[in-house]
């Protein structure tokens, strides 16, 4: 068998039945091999390789399983780069294959030769160049192991053409071993004990849950910990939905555009219990004042994250599910009691936050209105994917997600254009749920060509374009910090998204008034093809509250806070 066939067989053994890819000279042998594995594996032909990478990400984010994208050498592989970098920032397990010129031509500046090993080095967890057909299977097997185990991340594999056409002569190993890769899964029991004792002693404990808990599939364990201890739960943007956001103890997301109640609790806590979160600058603001008066427990599978940004009192290295389970067991032994004073205060202020100030609706629709409507119409299993910008932050702030892996967004990289292809990947992974894409008019146009993929692959999603004619997030920064000196942020009113929908053979509905919203979304859910809702959003609405970049949490301003003072009293 040649290298290409072994490649496909290895993918199938790894549980892959669908890939996202785009052909070219160097990968002709690979796509040729697909013809021999019909019914076992298929490729979804994207319209641009960036789409392949984001679609793989969407698949991985929705399913928790690793996903594969493929491009040809040179420009094809270069087009994967944004998606690989995005996956790296958000710890998403994708395996990206790039074709390469034959080994005999490497280093000669042959046609469509690009040093992809060099380019992907700083944006992958690891990368491999297959040098002989015999290395094909073991390198792919190692890549899957690396992508998935410990803290996940993307792996790039460079495929010189002759490694796919050449014959594999050695037997395929059943297992691979990587000497330098043994992530710590089991936490140190002494640290668990210390953490449990600190929790028992604390008066105002707060959970800060990050995507690590999503990755380790520990939502059930987390719910048990909370039901035992009644500790309020804040999450990062990336972990949205890991804990039912309609639960009375859910405070929603923290950080720059997080909910005030979550940031308030962060200011007031005396013990922050952080699990699977890397304390990004969008969460902490000014590191000097962040939780300056609280003790911090930090549990993470990546030891390099502990102490990187925030000074930690009790570090725990290990898998989140293990840690939560053991912590719960330890706390049961200690017979911890609910901190009733604290939960009462939290519930009291949370009420303000839930009620919010009413929206002043102008001629066009306020973004928040859309989110509140969607909260009513989506089912708990349904998935929301977003673009990047104001609409993304409105979604993060106002949507109430109830299950893990239902909120999919580019967090660490903030990649405009992520939304549409990621929504394709999510729908392929979860064909039985509704996938809502909440996208910006700017973001959507960055990967709009994937509407072709949607049509031809028969994928049905619901596209909600939050059309404000602006690169809204940048416009907001210019309004707030540059005295409204708007420069290069107005997009105008093109294109006509309904005509775009029509051109691709899809459905389109314009939503100009609040009163049309409900029926339009319902219609899009009912339609049997993808529908684009062109939602006419107020042009200059701002996402608030907002924490200034590098600012102090207590100075977060604006937002839907009825009640006293600039922030909560006290």
Ligand X SMILES: Cc1ncc(C[n+]2csc(CCOP(=O)(O)OP(=O)(O)O)c2C)c(N)n1
Interface region with another protein, contact rule CB under 8 A, candidates 5-13, 174-182, 409-417, 491-499? 174-182
Count of residues near Mg ion by CB under 5 A: 6
Write the CA distances from 234 to 11, 169, 205, integer angstroms.
Answer: 38, 54, 11
Q: Which residue is nearest to ligand X (CB)?
A: 440
Q: Are 435 and 421 in contact (CB under 8 A)?
A: no
Q: Of 50-58, 132-140, 300-308, 360-368, which part binds another protein (CB under 8 A)?
A: 300-308
- The C-alpha R_g of the chain, in whole angstroms, comes to 24
> Could you give the count of Cα atoms lying within 13 Å of 30 in the half-sphere of its Cβ?
33
The rounded distance, in Å, linking the Cα atoms of 241 and 403 is 5
Catalytic: which of 473, 497, 536, 561? 473
- Of the candidates 7, 353, 462, 466, which one interacts with ligand X according to CB under 6 A? 466
| 237 in active site | no
Our finding on whether 336 is near Mg ion (CB under 5 A) is no
Which strands form 233-235's sheet, in the order they lie side by side?
250-253, 233-235, 205-209, 271-275, 295-300, 314-317
Taking the C-alpha atoms of residue 532 and residue 506, their distance in angstroms, rounded to an integer, is: 8
Q: Considering the complex, state which of residue 240 and residue 391 has its C-beta at the smaller distance from ligand X.
A: 391
Can you say how many angstroms the Cα of residue 215 is from the centroid of all Cα atoms in its chain? 11
Query: Is-catalytic flag, 111?
Result: yes
Interface with another protein by CB under 8 A: which range of 6-14, 244-252, 303-311, 469-477?
303-311
Q: What CA–CA distance (Å, rounded) separates 219 from 244?
A: 9
Nearer to ligand X, 262 or 471 (CB): 471
233 vs 370 by CB, closer to ligand X? 370
Binding partner of residue 474 among ligand X, another protein, Mg ion, none, CB cut-off 5 to 8 Å per kind: ligand X
Q: Considering only 289-297, 400-408, 432-440, 454-462, which stretch makes contact with Mg ion by CB under 5 A?
A: 432-440
Which CB, 121 or 562, lies closer to another protein? 121
501-509: long-range contacts, CB 8 A cutoff, minimum separation 24: 501/451, 501/531, 501/532, 504/451, 504/452, 504/454, 504/455, 505/455, 505/529, 506/451, 506/454, 506/455, 506/530, 506/531, 506/532, 507/531, 507/532, 508/532, 508/533, 508/534, 509/533, 509/534
Does 64 sit near another protein (CB under 8 A)? no
Stretch that binds Mg ion, among 27-35, 273-281, 417-425, 469-477 (CB under 5 A): 469-477
The least distance separating another protein from the CB of residue 455, rounded to whole angstroms, comes to 40
Q: Other CB atoms closer than 10 Å to residue 460's CB: what's the count?
A: 17
**Residue 304 binds to another protein (criterion: CB under 8 A):** yes
**For residue 519, which of 399, 406, 362, 376 has the smallest C-alpha distance?**
376
* 179 binding another protein? (CB under 8 A): yes
| 121 contact, one of ligand X, Mg ion, another protein, none, CB 5-8 Å limit per kind | another protein
**Binding of residue 450 to Mg ion (CB under 5 A):** no
Is 49 catalytic? The answer is yes
Write the CB contacts of 457 (distance below 8 Å, at least 6 apart in sequence).
44, 45, 424
Stretch touching ligand X by CB under 6 A, among 250-258, 305-313, 469-477, 554-562: 469-477
Residue 472 sits in the site that holds Mg ion (CB under 5 A)? yes
Does 542 participate in binding Mg ion (rule CB under 5 A)? Answer: no
Who's near 36: CB < 8 A, 6+ residues apart?
A: 5, 8
Q: Indicate the residue whose CB is closest to Mg ion.
A: 440
Q: Which of 15, 180, 565, 570 is in the footprint of another protein by CB under 8 A?
A: 180
Any idea which residue has 């309609």 for tokens?
246
Q: Is 390 one of the binding residues for ligand X (CB under 6 A)?
A: yes
Closest to 532 (Cα-Cα) out of 456, 454, 416: 454
Among residues 307, 505, 558, 564, the one that binds another protein under rule CB under 8 A = 307
**Backbone φ/ψ region at 320: left (φ over 0), alpha (ψ -120 to 50), beta:** alpha
Contact 479, 540 (CB under 8 A): yes
The answer to whether 440 contacts ligand X (rule: CB under 6 A) is yes
Name the one range near ligand X by CB under 6 A: 42-50, 466-474, 492-500, 544-552. Answer: 466-474
CB of 190 to another protein, least distance (A): 20
> What does DSSP say about strands 205-209 and 42-45: parallel, antiparallel, or unpaired?
unpaired
Asked if 383 is part of the footprint of another protein (rule: CB under 8 A), the reply reads: no
Spot the catalytic one: 125, 142, 145, 161.
Answer: 161
Active site residue 479: no
Q: Tell me: does residue 93 bind ligand X (CB under 6 A).
A: no
380 φ/ψ sector (left φ>0, alpha ψ -120 to 50, else beta)? alpha
Establish whether 473 is a catalytic residue.
yes
Q: Are 423 and 399 in contact (CB under 8 A)?
A: no
Q: Is 181 in the site for another protein (CB under 8 A)?
A: yes
Binding to ligand X in span 312-351, by CB under 6 A: none
Where helices occur in 399-448 by DSSP H, the ranges are: 419-429, 441-446
161 binds another protein (CB under 8 A): no
303 touches another protein by CB under 8 A: yes
Tokens of 291: 């939780």
**According to CB under 8 A, which one of 12, 170, 173, 178 is a site residue for another protein?**
178
Q: Which partner in Mg ion, ligand X, another protein, none is near 179 (CB below 5 to 8 A by kind)? A: another protein
Please tell me the distance from the alpha carbon of residue 295 to that of residue 297, in angstroms, as a whole number. 7
Enumerate residues 96-155 that contact another protein by CB under 8 A.
117-118, 121-122, 125-126, 129, 146
Nearest Cα neighbor of 97 from 202, 12, 26 is: 26
Structure tokens at 398: 């106002």
Nearest approach in angstroms of CB 172 to Mg ion is 50
Strand partners, 18: 42
Give contact residues for ligand X (rule: CB under 6 A). Answer: 387-391, 414-417, 440-443, 466, 468, 470-474
Give contact residues for another protein (rule: CB under 8 A). Answer: 117-118, 121-122, 125-126, 129, 146, 178-181, 302-304, 307-308
Give contact residues for Mg ion (rule: CB under 5 A). Answer: 440-442, 468, 470, 472
Residues identified as active-site: 49, 111-112, 161, 473
């Amino acid at each position: 068998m040649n290298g290409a066939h072994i490649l496909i067989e290895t993918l199938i053994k790894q549980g892959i039945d669908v890939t996202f890819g785009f052909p070219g000279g160097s990968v002709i042998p690979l796509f040729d091999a697909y013809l021999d594995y019909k019914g076992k594996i298929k490729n979804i032909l994207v319209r641009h390789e960036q789409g392949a990478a984001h679609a793989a990400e969407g698949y991985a984010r929705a399913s928790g399983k690793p996903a594969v994208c493929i491009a040809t050498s040179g420009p094809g592989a270069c087009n994967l780069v944004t998606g690989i970098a995005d996956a790296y920032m958000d710890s998403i397990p994708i395996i990206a294959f790039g074709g390469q010129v034959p080994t005999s031509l490497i280093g000669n500046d042959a046609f469509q030769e690009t040093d992809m090993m060099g380019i992907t080095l700083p944006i992958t967890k690891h990368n491999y160049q297959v040098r002989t057909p015999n290395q094909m299977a073991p390198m792919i097997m190692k890549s899957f192991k690396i992508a998935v185990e410990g803290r996940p991340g993307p792996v790039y594999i460079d495929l010189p053409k002759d490694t796919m056409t050449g014959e594999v002569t050695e037997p395929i190993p059943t297992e691979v071993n990587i000497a330098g890769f043994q992530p710590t899964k089991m936490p140190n029991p002494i640290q668990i004990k210390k953490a449990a004792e600190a929790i028992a002693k604390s008066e105002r404990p707060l959970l800060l849950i990050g995507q690590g808990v999503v990755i380790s599939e520990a939502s059930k364990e987390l719910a048990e910990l909370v039901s035992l201890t009644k500790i309020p739960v804040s999450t990062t943007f990336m972990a949205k939905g890991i804990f039912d956001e309609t639960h009375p103890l859910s405070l929603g997301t923290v950080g720059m555009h997080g909910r005030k109640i979550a940031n308030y609790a962060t200011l007031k806590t005396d013990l922050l219990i952080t699990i699977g979160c890397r304390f990004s600058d969008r969460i902490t603001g000014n590191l000097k004042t962040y939780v300056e008066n609280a003790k911090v427990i930090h549990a993470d599978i990546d030891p390099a994250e502990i102490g990187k940004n925030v000074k930690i009192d009790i570090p725990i290295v290990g898998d989140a599910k293990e840690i939560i389970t053991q912590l719960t067991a330890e706390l049961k032994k200690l017979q911890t009691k609910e901190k009733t004073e604290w939960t009462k205060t939290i519930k009291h202020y949370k009420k303000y936050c839930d009620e919010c100030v009413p929206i002043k609706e102008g001629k066009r629709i306020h973004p928040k209105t859309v989110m509140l409507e969607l909260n009513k119409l989506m089912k708990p299993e349904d998935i929301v994917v977003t673009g990047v910008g104001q609409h993304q932050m409105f979604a993060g702030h106002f949507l109430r997600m109830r299950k893990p892996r239902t909120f999919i967004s580019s967090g660490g990289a903030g990649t405009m254009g992520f939304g549409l292809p990621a929504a394709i990947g999510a729908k392929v992974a979860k064909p039985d749920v509704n996938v809502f894409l909440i996208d910006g008019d700017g973001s959507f146009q960055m990967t709009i060509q994937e509407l072709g993929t949607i049509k031809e692959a028969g994928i049905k999603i619901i596209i909600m374009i939050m059309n404000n004619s602006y690169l809204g997030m940048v416009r907001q920064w210019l309004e707030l910090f540059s005295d409204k000196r708007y420069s290069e942020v107005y997009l105008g009113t093109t294109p006509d998204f309904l005509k775009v929908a029509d051109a691709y053979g899809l459905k389109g509905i314009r939503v100009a008034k609040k009163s049309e919203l409900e029926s339009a979304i319902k219609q899009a859910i009912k339609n049997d093809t993808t529908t684009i809702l062109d939602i006419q959003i107020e042009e200059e609405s701002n996402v608030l509250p907002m924490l200034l970049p590098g600012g102090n949490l207590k100075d977060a301003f604006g937002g839907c806070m009825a009640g006293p003072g600039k922030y909560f009293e006290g």
